[in-house]
Structure 1
Amino acid sequence: MSGSVLVTGGTGTLGKLVVPRLRAAGFGVRVLSRTAREAVDGVEYVVGDLETGAGVEDAVKGVDTVLHCAGSAKGDDVKARHLMKAASAAGIGHVVYISVVGADRTPVVSGIDRNMFGYIAAKREAEKIVAESGVPWTTLRATQFHDLLFTLAEGMAKLPVIPVPSGFKAQPVDPAMVADRLVELALGKPAGLVPDLAGPKIYSLKDVIRSYVKATGKRRLFMPMRVPGKAAAAFRSGANLAPDAGAGRTWEDFLATRVG
């Protein structure tokens, strides 16, 4: 065995990929869940809530590493604070955190910024909480997952006219590649902030949505929308991209597998 790992967000898009890879690498795996579940395929499930901190202290007891994959549209800083407090008290040897590319380059300073980009501010704060916790750590920043952009395009395509933020770009990455990297990092020693991970191509957000619309046989009008604020300006300048880190499956390949 390579030790034991607690995975937060183990039932989400990334966590579902991480867990079997950890098992294959020889780890004992425990998954933090808000609801009780029976053990499956050697994976233990423990009840806890990162939003309130309930059950988190018990969840981290007896594990060597924590792989923090839990994330949502808001509150990631609160979740990180509860997790790292428990990890510090338990003497955890390594916490691996997944963040987003641009967390350090996207200023979120106004109400407008926070409405659209508050999740990035929370990610940046979570990074600081992890780094300043006293627990040995590794943080990986990744660009937008294919699945996230697919969900975004799917939702926007329900509108007869699709508003698209002008100048926004995306560099979608295959979450399976991110999962591989996270397991590799979990196997290694704490490394601090490691190089970004991103998909192989950069697209305008309009092209991402338009390709989904075309692939699903729909017809839609597109309306450019100028988003105000410093965070939006950072996105237009490419703060959420990592041009030198591109690899893996393209958006076109992913789209073809999802919609045929």
Structure 2
Amino acid sequence: MTTILVTGGTGTLGRHVTELLRADGHEVRVLSRHTVPYAVDLREGGTGLDAALVGVDTVVHCASRPRGGDERAARNLIAAARQAGVGHLVYISIVGVDRVPLGYYRTKLAVERLIEESGLGWTILRTTQFHDLVLKLLEAVAKLPVMPLPAGVSDQPIEVTEVAARLAGLAAGAPAGRVADMGGPEVRTFPELARAYLRASGRRRPVVSVPLAGKAYRGMRAGGHLTPANAVGKVTFEEFLTGRFGA
């Protein structure tokens, strides 16, 4: 079995990837800013990163900070991985990073390009948004007297453990380049998702569709962040909510 380093290995996705790889018999190192013995801030790099990569065959790059620094972190990781002789770099990205001009999406696309040009063997998987993120957004909006949601926008949420299983399988294999996108089982409008959340949580809120402006909004109205042809996920949003709130 191989030695695999998972960056962001304590996060929503990374912890599941770590568990699956260990269960499959791989030696797995978890790198995050606060996890001993590989407590490393990828934005800073340095000797801690170099030490974490000694003897590593594959890196699964799950670490990400929407508030910035991902490109610098990727450059540091790539440079250290090349020096350590890592053979395979696996990256998790987002469906639509090349079609929806959100700032965070542009950053994810820039990291993809860095990996493609790194000289390392690489695999990139793009997925739709996790159920967990959609729930977090709806919970935040439900704090208001009404739930304002972007008019005409749908989503295709996917279960994070299904993504973790796919990512772990890719990490155990050879570099595959850009693999097929991975989407949740259903494309749902935001009002539908909100009403499902309200039923599951027992809350009552009016749901209001609000027209927005801008290129990113137009990209999402056009479905640039969706992949209905790759609706390979199995767990629906309602099933996810049942797991969180009970039947």
TM-score, normalised to structure 2's length?
0.94
- Equivalent pair of 1:74/1:118 in contact (CA under 8 Å): no
Query: Post-superposition shift, 1:36?
Result: 4.4
Q: How many equivalent pairs are there? A: 243
2-side partners of 1:3 and 1:240: how far apart?
Answer: 34
- Matched AA of 1:5: I
Counterpart in 2 of 1:251? Answer: 237
Aligned to 1:57: 50
How far apart, in 1, do the equivalents of 2:189 and 2:8 lie?
Answer: 29
C-alpha separation in 2, matches of 1:199 and 1:51: 31
Mapped to 1, the partners of 2:65 and 2:153 lie a distance apart of 21
Percent of aligned pairs sharing the same letter: 47
Any unmatched runs of 5+ in structure 1?
38-44, 109-116
Q: CA deviation at 1:216?
A: 1.4
Report the counterpart of residue 7 of structure 2 in structure 1: 8
CA contact (8 A) 1:94 1:135 kept: yes
Residue 185 (structure 1) aligns with: 170
After TM superposition, give the deviation of residue 174 of structure 1 in Å: 0.9
Query: Does residue 214 of structure 2 align to residue 229 of structure 1?
Result: yes
> Which amino acid letter does the alignment assign opposite residue 32 of structure 1?
L
Ranges in structure 2 where 5+ consecutive residues have no aligned partner: none
Deviation larger for 186-195 or 203-212 = 203-212
The answer on 1:98 being equivalent to 2:88 is no
TM-score with structure 1 length normalisation? 0.89
Displacement of 1:52 after TM fit? 2.1
Q: How does 1:1-260 map to 2 (within 5 A)?
A: 2-37=1-36, 45-54=37-46, 55-75=48-68, 76-106=70-100, 108=101, 117-247=102-232, 248-260=234-246
Counterpart in the other structure of 1:41 = none
Supply the RMSD in Å over aligned alpha carbons: 1.3
What amino acid is the match of 1:105?
R
Q: What is the CA-CA distance between 1:229 and the residue it aligns to?
A: 1.4
Deviations along 1:183-208, whole A, 9 cap, x unmatched?
A: 11111110110000111101011211
TM-superposed deviation, 1:225: 1.9
